[in-house]
Structure 1
Amino acid sequence: MGIISWIILGLIAGALAKWLMPGNDGGGWIATMALGIGGAFVGGWLGGFLGFGGADGINIGSIITATIGAFVLLFIYNRFLRG
């Protein structure tokens, strides 16, 4: 996947994760994109570890995988790092 694909996937996954997670998280587009790209890595790793496959393009499966990963990152941030 190219850098543009990662950015698009990151924006979609980060926005979906912030929309699904209740509460005020703050951050703008850059934070959302970073959250989504990090979520794609985390989701891809977890998906590969569990045998579901990773984030390998802009398709529904990759968006779901990246969104779950971004949701996990957002949950960890809200529970442990924000205090």
Structure 2
Amino acid sequence: MSRITYEIVEHDGGWAYKVGGTYSETFATHSDALAAARIAAAEQQVAGSTEGIEYEDTTGKWHNELSEGTDRPEAGVEEK
């Protein structure tokens, strides 16, 4: 099982959560960003249906895959 970590960081004059190199929207307070990250992490773990997904990797290459709805990562929030 893979693990995803939502990291709370200062961003664009406020606070955001970050996964890898991707930032969320900017929140006015650390508490707001933390609450949003906890919601996102919880939703990330919810099983769904098997579906085709499309995503772009860090090199700009697009991929198409079949994702099983029960194959969900473990997700958590980290404050630095």
TM-score range, shorter chain: 0.3 to 0.5
Higher-helix-fraction structure:
1
Higher-strand-fraction structure:
2
TM-score by length of 1: 0.37
TM-score by length of 2: 0.38
Structure number, greater radius of gyration = 2
